[in-house]
Structure 1
Amino acid sequence: MKKAELNTDDIENTENPGAPLAAEPAQQTSPAEPAESPEAAESAEPAQTAAVTPEELEELRSRAAKADEHWDRLLRVTADFDNFKKRTAREKQEAIRFANEGLIEKLLPVLDNFEIALATAAKQTGDGTEAIQSFHTGMSMIYQQLKGVLADAGLEELNTVGQPFDPNWHEAVSQQETTDAPEGRILQQLRKGYKLRDRLLRAATVVVAKSPST
């Protein structure tokens, strides 16, 4: 007679009949940590800013104010320096243009004397004296040559007779009642006036018209 083979499962069930078979325990796994998102990384940055103390914040504001002040000062200094360079260049140009002003002004009385001498000689040439005529011719040539040199240097004679009186260019020494010219017009020039380029060098002395008194 064969011995019956015992089933181990049957043996286990016999110890606790009616109980279900125990399932194998599931392998426990720890949940994976989620990756940090860019939004979370950005949200962490303000935490560092929040760590700045009020004293440090005030120091930063003070330094920013000083930086703005230094920048404004630099801009003003730069602008002042540019204006200085422009003014210096303009003054230098003016100095070159009017470098001979003093010399030319001293030569004006020489022109006056030439004109007086020529006017006197012109009256005496009526005698027919050859020497006087030669003298007058020579003086005229010298006078014209001198005027040409001064004109090349920028000297210009003022046009006065018949012009309205202008105190910026004319010096009135007297007034004369007349009906031949409107009041305020220049009737006569007693001494020539000159300007060097666009600057008055000597005012013309003139006689100005005045309306007759009634």
Structure 2
Amino acid sequence: MTRLWPLILLAGGGIAFFAFGLDDYFGFESIRENREILLDLVDRHGILAVIGYAAVYALFVALSLPAATLLSVLAGFLFGISLGTAAVVGGATLGAVGVFLAARSACADYFHAKAGPWLARMERGFAENAVSYMLILRLVPIFPFVVVNVVPALLGMRLRLYALTTLIGIIPGSLVYASVGSGLGTVFDRGGEPDLSIVFSPEILGPILGLAALAAIPIVYKKVKHRRRGAT
């Protein structure tokens, strides 16, 4: 039961967030209304504001709250592209590591005991291409972020490798959203709303998919090599 406490606390925090209606305060309209206050806080606290923002981002990720896009754009608005990207990448990585550790502590042993031999085979397959799989999943978020945080823990991935691939894999997407956020002030001045559809434009999505394809090369190479060996 003790091992379950980290997951219980994270789940409880997420439930409380919605139960108290805190999600009502997270939207671009709230940013518009409070932007002078937010910018003043950044001006007064400098790098401490960046560190604090990264900590808040980490908490949101750890609680699996659906605010990553908003917070990533806000980071670009408050800190600019470079510092905004750094705050997002640092916070998201820390939060993801927290979920990974909680899942590994609470569920890994039970999962292994119940899953049986098929899990061992899955672990071996994942371990052979862990870096490629993680980079692809981070670059192209096919599955929810929380799923990609939990599954590697259950498959026995090493923490250091998990943290490194997470950090590297989320940089391109974080950079894109921070870039959108850097122009948020102009958008607000015009009375408009940020156009997040730009993220899916060929100019943005193409290079990210290209990076994912590069990450997949080792997987394809090993499969082709294995088939050739089987054919001889």
Shorter-chain TM-score: which interval? under 0.3
In the superposition, the TM-score normalised over structure 2's length comes to 0.19
Which structure is higher in helix share? Answer: 2
Q: Which has the larger radius of gyration?
A: 1
In the superposition, the TM-score normalised over structure 1's length comes to 0.20
Higher relative contact order, structure no. (Cα contacts within 8 Å, ≥ 6 residues apart): 2
Which structure is higher in strand share? Answer: 1
